[in-house]
Amino acid sequence: MANPQPNMGISERPSDESESVSRRKFLRKAAAIGAGAGIGLTATESILRVQRVNAVTTDQLVKVDTSDTTSDFLNPKVSAGAGITKTVLSPGGYEQLRIAVSSNVLVSPMRQLVWRDSTTTYVRDGITGMVTTYTSSTRDSDALQAALNSLTPGRTWKEKVVVVGGPFGLSVIIFVSSYTILDITGASLQAVAGNQGQGIITIPRPNTSDVEIWGGLIDGNRPPPTSTAPGRHGVFLDSGTSRIKVIGTKFINIFRGYGVYLAGNTSDVLLQDLSFDHTDGAAIASDTSVPGDNVNVRIIRPIITNFSDRARSGLFNGAFNAIHTENNEPNTSSFNRRWLIEGADIDGSGSVEDSHGIYIGQMADARIVGCRTFKPRHNGLFIYSSIYVKAFGNHFESSGQNGVQVDDTGVTPPSDYCSCSRNTLANNIGYAAVERGSAHHNAFCDNLLVGNGAGISATGTMTLVVDNVGTA
């Protein structure tokens, strides 16, 4: 049996008897109209055929400027907003439309970039692309300060200066103004002899705010022990600064100074994931010697080794504890207030001065949580003339004196309403915890005592000692 053939068109039944006269007339008329229009329709008695037309298209180059012989296509259809320019390249030919940033009103991921080689230090503007070179003996300091100074004056948004490479030799103090991010993640900054006072990086008074320092290495370039050269802190927060963040930076060889120093009247400070090795003074120090409270300070996960190396510094008279808060201004009521110290890892085995792991002085309301001190020459935690300090979940081990000491001998006001709970107090040469002076209304509860020279000694009025595990 033969295969049936497909119907290739619009067909009518072949029988004339079944075909109406009006339908045949319709087909002929449609074919005549199509032929007149160039469509290519043909008709027979029963079939209307449509010819296949293949349309071939190819990519075309289109000119885009009104000076072209062809009508403009892209240029009038693209609008340039604030800070954007558009330029037609090769007018009259096959053109391109170039879009570019023209103003710093737009957010740039890198406002200034600083780098160096063996002879030259470079600064590239992230908006214009212009590169400025510095070749003098102070080229690193000049370039970095110039990059910081070139940020938009009076800005209320943060702009970023990125520094890569190094070491950059900083012969003078570098000042960072408000609304600045200084990203030194891929760089090392090193103090040059003679860079004295304040900090290698200084956030100046008054009212500097909204500053962030990211990553990198800050090297104090400590000279030999016999040197009488002046010292400098790593990062110095001058009086009245606020909303400051220092994150992920490593500090080494800080000479006659502190790693990070809060001078007084500072607020809303975050010091996170910092590390300190070989600091002549404290790794982190706070002082209300410029009257005004240091408020809302958070110190998160610092790693501190080889602090309090005063024997090398000779002339330096400062604080030698790993973390230190105090009020050195006579006859003022300034306090450190609302602090959080969390996850500090402090190894005092390299200290040569009699120092504490964490020194809390003139503090109102602090939490010390999840910290570890090992072999400080004095106490793991020392609380002095402070109120509402809560230490819980910490590990104070192998202190040269006591695990925890709450004391206010000779100082007013006394330490009051402080608590030490759920800590591990292990192998401290003196007491696991001790309360001295006129301190009172404190609590030592739920601590684990292991291998200490003595247990807990608390004699203050209304002081609570309960539910501790272990006798010494």
Percent of the chain residues past pLDDT 90, beyond the cut: 54
Percent of the chain residues past pLDDT 70, beyond the cut: 74
CA distance 271 to 234: 13
Q: How many domains does the chain have?
A: 1
pLDDT at residue 24 above 90? Answer: no
Q: What is the pLDDT of residue 224?
A: 75
pLDDT digits (tens, 9 = 90+) for 223-270: 876 777 777 899 999 999 999 999 999 999 998 889 999 988 899 999
pLDDT at residue 26 above 70? Answer: no
CA distance 348 to 20: 111
What integer is the mean pLDDT of 85-100? 71
pLDDT digits (tens, 9 = 90+) for 107-166: 456 689 999 999 999 999 988 889 999 999 999 999 999 999 999 999 999 999 999 998
Q: Look at residue 360 and tell me if it is in a domain.
A: yes
Both tokens of 394, joined, read: 């910490």
Higher pLDDT pick, 11 / 345: 345
Q: Look at residue 21 and tell me if it is in a domain.
A: no
For Cα atoms 49, 54, 60, give the angle at the middle one, nearest 5 degrees. 155
Higher pLDDT pick, 274 / 27: 274
Hey, which residues does 302 pair with through a beta bridge? none
Q: Look at residue 29 and tell me if it is in a domain.
A: no
Q: Give the amino acid at 199.
A: G
Q: Look at residue 7 and tell me if it is in a domain.
A: no
Q: Cis omega before residue 413 (within 30°)?
A: yes
What integer is the mean pLDDT of 341-362? 91
CA distance 335 to 323: 16
Helices (H) and strands (E) counted in the chain, each on its own, are: 3, 40
CA distance 326 to 465: 27
Give SS3 for 410. Answer: coil
Q: What is the pLDDT of residue 241?
A: 95
What distances in angstroms separate CA 32 from CA 10, 38, 50, one per listed residue? 16, 10, 13
Q: Look at residue 54 and tell me if it is in a domain.
A: no
Higher pLDDT pick, 464 / 309: 464
Q: Look at residue 82 and tell me if it is in a domain.
A: no
Of 223, 229, 217, 161, the C-alpha closest to 190 is 217
CATH of the domain at 164: 2.160.20.10
Pairing status of strand 199-203 against strand 233-237: parallel
Confidence band of 68 (pLDDT split at 50, 70, 90): low
Confidence band of 339 (pLDDT split at 50, 70, 90): very high
Of 200, 210, 194, the C-alpha closest to 166 is 200
Q: What is the CA radius of gyration of the chain?
A: 39
| Global pTM value | 0.77
pLDDT at residue 53 above 80? Answer: no
Query: What ranges make up the beta strands (E) of 67-198?
Result: 84-89, 96-101, 112-116, 121-125, 131-134, 159-170, 174-175, 180-191
Contact 115, 122 (CB under 8 A): yes
pLDDT at residue 1 above 50? Answer: no
Q: What is the pLDDT of residue 258?
A: 92
Q: What is the pLDDT of residue 7?
A: 47
Q: Look at residue 10 and tell me if it is in a domain.
A: no
The residue range of the domain holding 155 is 112-466
Q: Look at residue 425 and tell me if it is in a domain.
A: yes
How many residues belong to the chain? 472
